[in-house]
Amino acid sequence: MLTKKQKDLLLLIKSHLDKSGIPPSFDEMRNAVGLKSKSGIHMLINSLEERGFLKRIPYKARALEILKMPEELNSSNNSELPFYGRIAAGVPIEAISNPETLEVPSDMISPNKQYYVLEVSGDSMIDAGILSGDKVIIQNCDSANNGEIVVALVDENDVTLKFFHKEGNSIALKPANKNYETKVLSYDRIRIQGKLAGLLRKY
């Protein structure tokens, strides 16, 4: 799955190559995807090259070759969701402005609910089949039932993906990896920011 900026840049390059055989200039790329610096374009090109969509031609300025186009560009049955990347500690989800967007299959979400996408960092949920680098679709909500996997904000500082269990007046956030400990915290220290609705993985 590509972010909206990655997709827009790839489509721009393809359009220029199809019309003239020459890739767009860095300024044209920067303006088209709404970035202020050329370094951001270099990062997008690097990410597309790493994923096998683009190839730089050595010893030629601005020389780029399209190797393939992603399948999602050929599908109209997709929905765009906010993509917040790897959430850093100290950044509540609702405080993040101007997120990227990511296309996901529409049959993975319900039309009457709100969702966003996160990238998983770490291996605390591997026994639940969630690996570092996976992208998870999160239904936006502020409550959960026991046994559901939630995005929890702890002490307004630490965002984590764990199993939710209410135990009396406390909440247990349980990992799915025996090398990690369960955190049992008072109810007022935890704010639910969503629950797991789906998982995206590239093999």
End-to-end CA distance of the chain: 11
Q: Are 41 and 8 in contact (CB under 8 A)?
A: no
Residue of 5, 7, 124, 135 marked catalytic? 124
* Integer angstrom CA distances of residue 166 from 83, 92, 171, 192, 197: 29, 22, 5, 12, 20
| 162 catalytic residue (yes or no) | yes
| 202 catalytic residue (yes or no) | no
**Backbone φ/ψ region at 117: left (φ over 0), alpha (ψ -120 to 50), beta:** beta
Query: What DSSP letter does each residue of 133-194 carry, written as one string?
Result: T-EEEEE--S---TT-EEEEEETTTEEEEEEEEEETTEEEEE-SSTTSPPEEEEGGGEEEEE
CA neighbor of 173 nearest in space, from 194, 152, 157, 193: 152
Q: Express the helix, strand and coil content of the chain in percent, nearest 5 each.
A: 25, 30, 40
Residue of 162, 174, 183, 195 marked catalytic? 162
Which of the residues are catalytic?
124, 162
